[in-house]
Structure formats: C-alpha cells, structure tokens
Structure 1
Amino acid sequence: MAVSIRLSRGGAKRRPFYRIVIANSRSPRDGSFIEKIGSYNPQLPKDNENRVIVDLDRARHWLSVGAQPTDRVARFLDAAGLLERKARNNPNKAVPGEKAKERAEERAQKAADAAEAAKAAAEAPAAEEQAPAEEAASNSEEA
C-alpha cells in the first residue's frame, strides 16, 4: 500500500482549512485517511505560529516507514527542519513566449517609428524657419 502525507481540504466555500493526513495514495483527497498529523490554515497570516501545526514525531515515524509527502507538505516539513527539500530551478520560467516576443518587437518597432516621425517633425519647422530667413535676405539684397 502506497502511503502519502498530504492535505485534506475542509472548511466552507472560500474559507479553506486543511488537515495534514496520512492516507492511502489511491484514496480521494477528502476521503478516508489513516491518521491526522497536523493542520494548515491559509487564512492566517504567514508569521502566525498556528498557520501550520505538525506533529513532528508522527511525521518522522511515517517518513521512516516510507510515506511520500506531497510538494506542499514537503515544504512544511522542510520549514520544520524534518525533511530536506531540494530547491527547484526552472531557468525558462521567466522567459516570455513566442507571441509575447512578437508583441514586444511590434511595440519596439512602433516606438522607433514614432520617435523617427517626431524627429522629422522637429526638423521640418527648423528647415522652414531657415527658408524664409534666406528669402528675406535675398529680397533685401534685390532692393
């Protein structure tokens, strides 16, 4: 029988409360369990000592027997100093997808075009100011 240490949900709608239980891995999430070894209340602030309560002796026993904790329970046990959890590394997590890259390129192109148009618009009045000054100078020479 494969045994796991996992969370079993309780509480009302939008007010979750979890029991940390030892259960057969084939049983439903909120179904029957072998033993309750703690609780987790995500509604409490993270620094509250009652947010996660674990009976470390029983958890140690079940880990020695071969029970496999889920990821979330492994985090709790790691925080309690009972289990060493390997840190995960996903270097591609922050890399944007293809569509996002295309949208970023389009935005950059539009920004470059707008900057170029603004520069051309700024140069055009300056050129127009020089042209009337030259015409006025040529008119004064003729007179």
Structure 2
Amino acid sequence: MVVIRLNRGGAKARPFYNIVVADKRARRDGRFIERIGFYNPTAVEGEQGLRIAQDRLTYWKSVGAQASPTVERLIKQASQAAA
C-alpha cells in the first residue's frame, strides 16, 4: 500500500518535515517514491511554512494512496490558505 506521510529532517529541536509518497512498509525516514511538499512548523514570519504540490497530490490520491491523519490536516490547512 502507498501512503502519503511526513519524513522528518532538520536538527535536534528544529524539526523540518518533507511530505512524501512512500510504501507503507518503508521506515519513516527511509526510502520514498516522491517528495510532494514540505512542512516547517518553526517557520518565522517571512518564511513559507507549508507547500504541497496539489497536482501530484491529486494524482497519488487518484491511484489509491492514503494520506496519514497529520497530512490530511495539513492538506486542509493548505487549501484554506490558498482560498
């Protein structure tokens, strides 16, 4: 099964997450199929905190990929910001 989930990066106490499409059996920070965006929870005022490639997200959902609950929340947050 293919899932859309967060892949953690960044330094200790400074998290940075990539939104990736990966096989469910792969490790959290292991192999992934495609990177479709990022989430920076510690973004300051001038920086972009969230970016998702909507066209790739739509494609992966159309072929059966399931988003994690956190990614679902971020998708809703991104769509509200775009509106």
- In the superposition, the TM-score normalised over structure 1's length comes to 0.52
Aligned equivalents of 2:20, 2:11: Cα separation in 1: 19
Q: Which amino acid letter does the alignment assign opposite residue 67 of structure 2?
A: P
Q: Hey, which of these two has a bigger chunk of helix by percent?
A: 1
Structure 1: which 5+ residue stretches go unaligned?
Answer: 82-143
CA RMSD across the alignment: 1.5
Q: Tell me how far 1:54 sits from its aligned partner.
A: 0.4
User: Which residue does 1:71 correspond to in 2?
Assistant: 69
SS of 1:28's partner is: coil
Larger Rg: 1
Q: Percent identity?
A: 51
Where 1:42 maps in the other structure, the secondary structure is coil
Distance 1:48 1:6, change over 3 A: farther
Output the CA distance in 2 between the equivalents of 1:42 and 1:22.
Answer: 20
Structure-to-structure mapping, 1:46-125, within 5 angstroms: 50-81=48-79
Q: Distance in 1 between matches of 2:76 and 2:64?
A: 17
Question: Normalized per residue, which structure has more strand?
Answer: 2
Name the structure 2 match of 1:140: none
1:40-77 deviation per Cα after TM superposition (whole angstroms, max 9, x unaligned):
001115x7671111000000100111111011100111
TM-score (norm 2): 0.87
In structure 1, C-alpha distance between the alignment counterparts of 2:67 and 2:13, rounded to whole Å: 25
Q: Which runs of 5+ in 2 are unaligned?
A: none
